[in-house]
């Protein structure tokens, strides 16, 4: 460690205030920004509903993964403090303390704002008690024909154990009075195979004013329909009460890879076990009496600190189904992706790449050139081999189909499928088996690390010898998410970059111990030291010439070593601009520590997903793109690649159009304050929207 680093570390450790923001609370602040989009009346009504559903879905995953992890630490007696100084027990208490008022805001928004607005626009989400006679008669018939046959009530008494409550399931706690046995308890699961929002015929909707029938839609909550017909499930006894409740369980699988003879089978078993993890949250309706809540707590083996009581319907992620309504007047105008200028004339794709690198910016650019790249390789007789990594390919992947087609055409095809991609394990297992049946050589990642790098390689026999073509990206090979995630992809045949890609695939598929690369920064070997070296170079430039500048855009910044390096840069006077969508543990704007660092977050219709690392380098800037956030897992426990953007015109586009738009945004940007809160910018002058397709495409 240098003398300067020792001084910097001493400054970082100064006890004025914690140098780091809590990771879990920072994540909650991110989800609060998502919630703010649901509250924002500038967004169309159904877009606000969408953001509320995303907020709820995000929170479910937060409990399944992050809260469950904290609870496991507590159970294991872990007392180690987080970088901001909190024990696991203190973190869990802080999470609950922060979430309770936010959840109350969520309910106020839904019940007092969104539902009345939806009704005013002809979209009714009825409570069962609001229904008229005709509507109830129609639902009586619907229940008999579609719901009743699917239901399975489960009793709980001295001879029957408490029924298992699966993860994310919505249930009814039913209280029954029997003449002989007295008060009994039963559980009825709300079937996931049925629509959560039961649609009524439009002619039965209570439409406001003269709204045309085709623009009307009305629904009833499925659990309320079931609750109204419980007597049919329990003939001969009196149904006294029923209350909805919902359970969230630990869904973070622990895979002992070194003990797994068959990783595919082990992952399959882990996916099945996910349903049976420890309960980490019980949500109940505010109407549930204490005795029923206590019965659930006792039998689920959790405490009152795991109980969340809310007003209104549970499981609001199901509101996403309303986005299927044909109501363009209540949605954002549809965005139609375009082709980059270099690919618009229908020229041969490989010829275009030979003439120069092609940069794709999704979702503003279409994802079709990525698919075309693999399909063209599959059909080209000059192509010898195709290699690709797959992390989240989606459920109906044209990329995977193109790889199987390539194998049918006699190409040598290798797919590195990451089976451990959280919540995509089942899709990846399905695709892996289908590709193996098609003859594709499938590699299931590496022992102990996840393969998160986004790479595709095409090996082609040309007149002057073998030439390699590559696609390197910041996002997944998923055509569906490419329509809503902002990502960058590079099509190139630069020999030094493609040689690195070849070496990286050899590392992924064989026993290679490759630890040096020509151009790529690769985790877990060269990415961390490479980025740290580039940051230190900028610090040195600041000392020499006073022109140090860093601009980083990513999803999350929580790695303490990287944060310390950025603190050192700030203390040296380097201007540091950070654009971070989600978690940020760095505390900006602290005198003597981070006064030269600004952090902003962009949340909007598109999910900001690309990672961009800009180093000013004394006016000869270097710009890297890639798959890695600045998190310990990305730097040390994943295979990631970060690649340089060397074509000057492309680098200029990313710097001048993308990064400068994000730094000037006054429509979607929030700025991180030293205390961990975020402030939305108030537009002063012209509006700058960094998600405006016209702005992002420019002349591209």
- In this predicted structure, what is the pLDDT of residue 3? 30
Looking up tokens 């049976």 gives: 276
Pairwise CA distance, residues 352 & 645, whole Å: 17
Q: How large is the average pLDDT for residues 490-495?
A: 98
DSSP 654: I
- Residue 594 token pair: 């981070």
Domains in the chain: how many in total? 3
Looking up tokens 């022992």 gives: 447
The reply to whether 684 falls in a domain is yes
- In this predicted structure, what is the pLDDT of residue 479? 92
Report, as residue numbers or ranges, the catalytic residues.
Answer: 452
Which helix (DSSP H) or strand (DSSP E) does residue 23 occupy?
helix 23-39
- Residue 139 token pair: 């639902």
Per-residue pLDDT reduced to its tens digit, 364-409: 999 999 999 999 999 999 999 999 998 877 778 899 999 999 999 9
Radius of gyration of the chain (CA): 27
267 band by pLDDT with thresholds 50, 70 and 90? very low
Say which residue, 197 or 208, is predicted with more confidence.
Answer: 197
N-terminal to C-terminal alpha carbon distance within the chain: 46
Do residues 287 and 355 both lie within one domain?
Answer: no
Task: Examine the pLDDT at 495 and tell me if it is beyond 60.
Answer: yes
- In this predicted structure, what is the pLDDT of residue 288? 96
Do residues 93 and 206 both lie within one domain?
Answer: yes
Contact yes or no for 489/360 (Cβ under 8 A): yes
Q: How large is the average pLDDT for residues 161-172?
A: 92
3-state SS record for 134-192: HHHHHHHHHHHHHHHHHCCCEEEECCECCCCCCCCCEEEEEEEEECCCEEEEEEEECCC
Phi, psi of 361 (to 5 degrees): -120, 100
Task: Examine the pLDDT at 324 and tell me if it is beyond 60.
Answer: yes
Do residues 511 and 541 both lie within one domain?
Answer: no
pTM of the entire predicted model: 0.91
- In this predicted structure, what is the pLDDT of residue 423? 53
Q: Name the domain boundary from 299, 330, 361.
A: 330
439, 444, 437, 431: which is closest to 401 by C-alpha? 431
257 band by pLDDT with thresholds 50, 70 and 90? very low
For the ranges 252-266, 379-393, 481-495, the maximum mean pLDDT occurs at 481-495
Which helix (DSSP H) or strand (DSSP E) does residue 611 occupy?
strand 611-615
Do residues 286 and 435 both lie within one domain?
Answer: no
Choose the weakest-confidence range: 269-278, 337-346, 367-376: 269-278
The reply to whether 15 falls in a domain is no
Choose the weakest-confidence range: 87-91, 208-212, 297-301, 565-569: 208-212
131 CB-near residues (< 8 Å, 6+ apart): 139, 220
Task: Examine the pLDDT at 260 and tell me if it is beyond 60.
Answer: no
Task: Examine the pLDDT at 223 and tell me if it is beyond 70.
Answer: yes
Burial 135-156 (b: 16+ CB within 10 A, else e): beebbeebbeeebeeebebbeb
Strand 465-473 to 455-462 pairing: antiparallel
Per-residue pLDDT reduced to its tens digit, 414-448: 999 887 655 556 676 777 888 899 999 988 877 77
- In this predicted structure, what is the pLDDT of residue 647? 96
- In this predicted structure, what is the pLDDT of residue 207? 66
Pairwise CA distance, residues 154 & 173, whole Å: 10
The reply to whether 6 falls in a domain is no
258 band by pLDDT with thresholds 50, 70 and 90? very low
265 band by pLDDT with thresholds 50, 70 and 90? low
Do residues 282 and 350 both lie within one domain?
Answer: no
Do residues 508 and 529 both lie within one domain?
Answer: no
The reply to whether 633 falls in a domain is yes
197 CB-near residues (< 8 Å, 6+ apart): 125, 219, 220, 221, 222, 318, 321, 322
Task: Examine the pLDDT at 159 and tell me if it is beyond 80.
Answer: no
Say which residue, 256 or 225, is predicted with more confidence.
Answer: 225
The reply to whether 116 falls in a domain is yes
Per-residue pLDDT reduced to its tens digit, 4-48: 333 334 333 333 357 999 999 999 999 999 999 999 999 999 999
Do residues 323 and 359 both lie within one domain?
Answer: no
Domain region containing 363 = 341-515
Which helix (DSSP H) or strand (DSSP E) does residue 194 occupy?
none
Do residues 584 and 617 both lie within one domain?
Answer: yes
Contact yes or no for 74/88 (Cβ under 8 A): yes
Phi, psi of 158 (to 5 degrees): -65, -25
Task: Examine the pLDDT at 264 and tell me if it is beyond 80.
Answer: no
Query: From residue 406, how far is each of 367, 374, 491, 565 by CA, in Å?
Result: 19, 8, 19, 45
The reply to whether 5 falls in a domain is no
Burial 14-34 (b: 16+ CB within 10 A, else e): eeeeebbbbbbbbbbbbbbbb
Do residues 551 and 454 both lie within one domain?
Answer: no
- In this predicted structure, what is the pLDDT of residue 119? 93
Task: Examine the pLDDT at 502 and tell me if it is beyond 90.
Answer: yes
- Residue 658 token pair: 């993308």
Pairwise CA distance, residues 486 & 696, whole Å: 11
Do residues 526 and 545 both lie within one domain?
Answer: yes
CA torsion, ordered 76, 81, 86, 87, to nearest 10 deg: 20
Contact yes or no for 255/267 (Cβ under 8 A): yes
Q: Name the domain boundary from 485, 515, 545.
A: 515
- In this predicted structure, what is the pLDDT of residue 78? 83
The reply to whether 1 falls in a domain is no
473, 512, 248, 506: which is closest to 371 by C-alpha? 473
Pairwise CA distance, residues 62 & 77, whole Å: 22
Taking CA 191 as the corner, what is the angle to CA 190 and CA 193, rounded to the nearest 5 degrees? 150
- In this predicted structure, what is the pLDDT of residue 251? 78
For residue 475, the domain's CATH number is 3.30.870.10
155 band by pLDDT with thresholds 50, 70 and 90? confident
Q: Name the domain boundary from 500, 515, 530.
A: 515
Pairwise CA distance, residues 627 & 294, whole Å: 46
Do residues 452 and 498 both lie within one domain?
Answer: yes
Q: Tell me the three state secondary structure of residue 261.
A: coil
Do residues 386 and 496 both lie within one domain?
Answer: yes
The reply to whether 10 falls in a domain is no
pLDDT over 90, % of the chain: 77
Per-residue pLDDT reduced to its tens digit, 661-696: 999 999 999 999 999 999 998 888 889 999 999 999
| Average pLDDT score, the chain | 90
What DSSP line would sit under 656-693, residue for residue?
A: IIIIHHHHH--SSEEEE-TTS-EEEPPP-SS---TT-H
């Amino acid at each position: 460690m240098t003398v300067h680093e020792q001084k910097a570390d001493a400054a970082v450790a100064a006890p004025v205030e914690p140098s780091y923001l809590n990771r879990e609370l920072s994540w909650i602040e991110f989800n609060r920004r998502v919630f703010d989009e649901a509250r924002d009346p500038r967004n169309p009504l159904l877009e606000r509903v969408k953001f509320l559903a995303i907020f709820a879905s995000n929170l479910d995953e937060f409990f399944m993964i992050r809260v469950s992890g904290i609870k496991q630490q507590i159970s294991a007696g872990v007392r180690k403090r987080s970088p901001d100084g909190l024990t696991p027990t203190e973190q869990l208490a802080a999470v609950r303390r922060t979430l309770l008022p936010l959840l109350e805001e969520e309910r106020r928004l839904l019940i007092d704002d969104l539902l009345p607005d939806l009704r005013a626009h002809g979209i009714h989400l009825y409570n069962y008690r609001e229904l008229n006679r005709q509507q109830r008669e129609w639902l009586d018939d619907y229940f008999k024909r579609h719901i009743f046959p699917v239901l399975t009530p489960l009793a709980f008494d001295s001879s029957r154990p408490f029924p298992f409550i699966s993860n994310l399931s919505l249930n009814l706690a039913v209280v029954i009075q029997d003449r002989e046995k007295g008060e009994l308890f039963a559980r009825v699961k709300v079937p996931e195979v049925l629509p959560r929002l039961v649609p009524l015929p439009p002619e039965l909707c209570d439409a406001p004013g003269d709204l045309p029938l085709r623009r009307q839609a009305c629904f009833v909550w499925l659990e309320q329909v079931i609750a109204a017909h419980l007597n049919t499930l329990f003939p001969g006894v009196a149904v006294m009460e029923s209350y909805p409740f919902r359970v969230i369980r630990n869904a973070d699988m622990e895979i002992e890879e070194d003990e797994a003879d068959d990783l595919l089978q082990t992952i399959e078993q882990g996916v099945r076990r996910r349903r049976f993890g420890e309960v980490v949250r019980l949500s109940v309706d505010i109407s549930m009496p204490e005795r029923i809540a206590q019965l659930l707590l006792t039998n689920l083996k959790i405490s009152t600190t795991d109980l969340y009581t809310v007003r209104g319907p549970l499981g609001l992620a199901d509101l996403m189904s309303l986005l299927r309504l044909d109501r363009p007047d209540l949605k954002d105008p549809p965005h139609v992706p375009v082709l980059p200028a270099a690919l618009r004339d229908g020229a041969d794709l490989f010829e275009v790449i030979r003439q120069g690198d092609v940069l794709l910016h999704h979702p503003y650019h279409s994802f079709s050139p990525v698919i075309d790249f693999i399909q063209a390789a599959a059909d080209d007789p000059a192509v010898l081999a195709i290699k690709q990594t797959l992390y989240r390919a989606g459920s109906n992947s044209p990329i995977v189909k193109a790889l199987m087609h390539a194998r049918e055409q006699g190409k040598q095809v290798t797919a590195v499928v990451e089976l451990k991609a959280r919540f995509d394990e089942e899709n990846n297992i399905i695709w892996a088996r289908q590709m193996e049946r098609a003859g594709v050589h499938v590699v299931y990642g590496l022992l102990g690390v996840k393969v998160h790098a986004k790479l595709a390689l095409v090996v082609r026999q040309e007149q002057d010898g073998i030439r390699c073509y590559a696609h390197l990206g910041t996002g997944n090979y998923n055509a569906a998410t490419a329509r809503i995630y902002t990502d960058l992809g590079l099509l190139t045949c630069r020999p030094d970059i493609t040689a690195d890609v070849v070496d990286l695939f050899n590392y992924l598929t064989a026993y290679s111990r490759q630890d040096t690369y020509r151009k790529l920064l690769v985790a877990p070997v060269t990415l961390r030291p490479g980025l740290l070296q580039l940051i230190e170079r900028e610090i040195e430039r600041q000392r020499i010439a006073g022109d140090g500048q860093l601009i980083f855009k990513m999803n999350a910044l929580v790695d303490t070593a990287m944060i310390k390096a950025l603190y050192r840069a700030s203390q040296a006077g380097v201007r540091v601009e950070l654009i971070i969508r989600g978690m940020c543990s760095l505390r900006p704007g602290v005198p003597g520590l981070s006064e030269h660092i600004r952090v902003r977050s962009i949340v909007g219709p598109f999910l900001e997903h690309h990672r961009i690392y800009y180093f000013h380098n004394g006016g000869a800037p270097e710009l890297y793109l890639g798959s890695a956030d600045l998190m310990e897992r990305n730097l040390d426990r994943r295979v990631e690649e970060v690649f340089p953007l060397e074509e000057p015109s492309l680098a200029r586009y990313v710097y001048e159009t993308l990064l400068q738009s994000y730094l000037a945004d006054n429509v979607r940007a929030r700025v991180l304050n030293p205390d961990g809160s975020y402030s939305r910018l108030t537009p002063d002058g012209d509006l700058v929207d960094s998600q405006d397709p016209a702005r992002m495409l420019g002349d591209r």
